[in-house]
Chains A and B, each alone.
Chain A
């Protein structure tokens, strides 16, 4: 816990501490000390980045609440539930954000261009939704320009605001996403995270940092898709099982023990074949 007054003093004196602060800035997309109460977190005068941390143990595997009405940039209403049924990548942002929000949407677009196995709109959907109750279709249009979507978002990607503002907390709360407003810095503090939802609306992965490799994104989609198996993606399911999410590095890594175990399994089968061959072709004859 860092007290407001000592925070600035130490940050100016200590390079390492400054680096830590910058890291936190990068992580949460915003900076500063806050005195606010908004979103899912109520804070007074103390900054503890830990309060923004998503409690993954509690929310991974949980179904989100998707009984809400969203509004796109034209102001047209549609149900969040209409996007469920395929894996859904959720980017929670706010549209007056000068910092990370446009970057994470831009980066997501670049990442998804590298995903070859799955086609956006056909195999999965993407949703950017604002958690700022002041956002409107008008601020959304401005944001789209900033985020590099002047010509509109790709097919399968929807950018929205919530129609009923009180639903914001219900939606974000159902997936453990926390944010709060800092009036002093006039910005929201929030985690930069892509939330992967399964076809049934369960949280299957939180991908942090805003720069996810296409391979990791593809695996996250594959794993989310594993909730609804079909003949066409059995092999994908098997491939997905060969990787596990590495919480330390924030990416998927190959399950080495699985391959060692497969080798051991083959060793057992070879032992049967070898001993039978020995008995049949050599020992019994001799």
Chain B
């Protein structure tokens, strides 16, 4: 990581040199890197858990374990850590912290100390989640924590689950307040709301959703522990509680959480598509309004998780409508992404390979989501592999590929070096093919009736579709695993021995590339930045150059 923070010409402080400086930093970029390290570590842990499950499912009967509790632990660690430890921290931690303040021309986040607290809360949560692998009463009740199972002794340590969710929730809420204030009040002179990069819009909107909904989740899981350990009986039917209430409260946050992940990763895709195609984002203003529309529309979608829980017909119809309604803003974003490529002079860079992969996964996932939204069809496929494959395509894998696209995209600004283009592309193709082999066949297994979360499928032993799908899926794991491993090696090699980068290797127009050094220093810009009238982050033809205000007490050279 040599030269990570660099020095600006005016000699302002640069890279933290000691452990103490790293730990007690208030610099949003260093905090962003802490988020990224935490997210990648979580990805590795959750990825290994997924690999273990897939190996177990490779054939009928026990393969690597016959212990259902162990399998449930892997399942819990995979889902919870991928979502709460990898995707949300990578997007609302790394991208929000590292990229957004520079993209809006700010010198830091609005509340740097709160920012530092947020990242260390995240790390506390991640460390506690890892402890779950070694404590004697590991929690194995999935990331959903559904009662009544989560109220039993068999589930393990429900308190740990509640505590981790609350800690991560606090981290998210503090981070969201900070980011929202940064975008609203720390933009540089001249930058209007409709001159912000779409990544900023997407991250901003996702954080507003977090602020509204996360406290509900935190309160709900707190009550879960009160139920289990103090016998309050909020959710336990045996003592007068309502078990479905938890399901509603959980998904009231957790379905909007899908858009908390979706929006920022689509923001990254917009950035990379526009820069790679040298094209203005198609229908920029409509795209921004589509992003904003996710706030109200996402608030009335959660009930589709309870289609099979005995809802009145009119409510199922209404929720089918509101679920399909989210296709409108989402469809506009997809059109906009496609339109951005249309008639562009596309350069197939490494990050673009990853972004295209994410886009294609997103298309498959979104199209297979439409039937799921229809309550009549959902009756037949609820809790089957169809649902699992759908959300892996639409959120998990496309989101993961977009996050990695973003890491490759901003990598030169983090390290001052470039990753190997060939390896970046090779790993993108490998990951894409691998994940399609992992998840594609499982759709067919789901249609045949294979339920989610089962550690074995002996009851489907004679169903060739299911057995073959599981077999192929496990073969896909090997390809994905090697690709992911090579991707990490590519990062490490790039950071240590990669070719030195220029300040703007991709020819972008946004401020993190055009108005900072190769590696932005503390304060980001040598002097406060001003964007001239007519400046736009996606004007690749005749964009006026950003200006700089003279630094107080200096000659103001730049």
- The chain A residues found within 8 Å of chain B, CB to CB, are 60-61, 198, 200, 226-229, 244-249, 253, 255-258, 260-261, 263-265, 267-269, 271-272, 275-276, 278-280, 283-284
Contact = CB atoms under 8 A, between A and B. Distances in A.
Interface stretch (B22-30, B35-43, B241-249, B383-391): B241-249
Given A61-B310, A229-B312, A271-B211, A265 B216 contact: yes
B212 interface: yes
A202 B246 CA distance: 24
Contacts of B252: 261
A81 B312 CA distance: 20
Interface residues of B, number: 36
A145 B304 CA distance: 51
B213 A268 contact: yes
Contact of B185 (A198, A271, A280): A280
Contacts of A198: 312
Nearest to B227: A257
Interface stretch (B217-225, B429-437, B540-548): B217-225
Given A229-B314, A248-B239, A261 B177 contact: no
Interface in B224-279: 233-235, 237-242, 245-246, 249, 252
B181 interface: yes
B180 A261 contact: no
A261 B310 CA distance: 22
A249 B237 CA distance: 10
Given A200-B313, A264-B218, A271-B211, 17 more contacts: A228-B314, A244-B242, A253-B240, A257-B220, A257-B223, A257-B249, A263-B219, A264-B215, A268-B212, A268-B213, A268-B215, A268-B216, A269-B211, A275-B181, A276-B184, A279-B184, A283-B110
Interface string B183-213: 0110000000000000000000000100111
B181 A265 contact: no
Contact of A265 (B110, B212, B241, B312): B212
Interface string B280-323: 00000000000000000000000000000010111100000000
A245 B237 CA distance: 9
A272 B180 contact: yes
A257 B217 CA distance: 11
Nearest to B233: A248
A66 B523 CA distance: 75
A227 B312 contact: yes
A60 B219 contact: no
B240 A247 contact: yes
B214 interface: yes
Contact of B177 (A260, A265, A272): A272
Classify the interface of chain B: helix, strand, loop or mixed.
helix
A249 to B, nearest CB: 6
B173 interface: yes
B532 to A, nearest CB: 23
A261 B253 CA distance: 10
Contacts of B223: 257, 260
Contacts of A256: 234
12 contacts: A198-B312, A248-B237, A248-B239, A253-B240, A255-B242, A258-B245, A258-B249, A265-B215, A268-B173, A271-B173, A278-B181, A279-B110
Interface string B409-438: 000000000000000000000000000000
Nearest to B173: A271
A13 to B, nearest CB: 32
Contacts of B312: 198, 226-229
B180 A275 contact: yes
Contact of A276 (B180, B218, B220): B180
Contacts of B216: 261, 264-265, 268
Contacts of A276: 180-181, 184
A258 B216 CA distance: 9
A278 B233 CA distance: 39
Contacts of A257: 219-220, 223, 234-235, 245-246, 249
B184 A255 contact: no
Contacts of A260: 219, 223
B306 to A, nearest CB: 12
Contacts of B233: 248
Contacts of A271: 173, 177, 211
A279 B114 CA distance: 14
Contacts of A269: 211-212
Nearest to B178: A275
Contacts of B218: 264
A255 B235 CA distance: 9
A284 B185 contact: yes
Contacts of A279: 110, 181, 184-185
Contacts of B235: 257
A278 B182 CA distance: 12
B254 to A, nearest CB: 13
A261 B110 contact: no
A10 B233 CA distance: 36
Contacts of A283: 110, 185
Most chain A CB within 10 A, of B110, B312, B313, B314, is at B312
B261 to A, nearest CB: 18
Contacts of B246: 257
Q: Which 6 A/B pairs are nearest by Cβ-Cβ distance?
A: A244-B242, A264-B215, A246-B240, A248-B240, A264-B219, A279-B185
Nearest to B249: A261
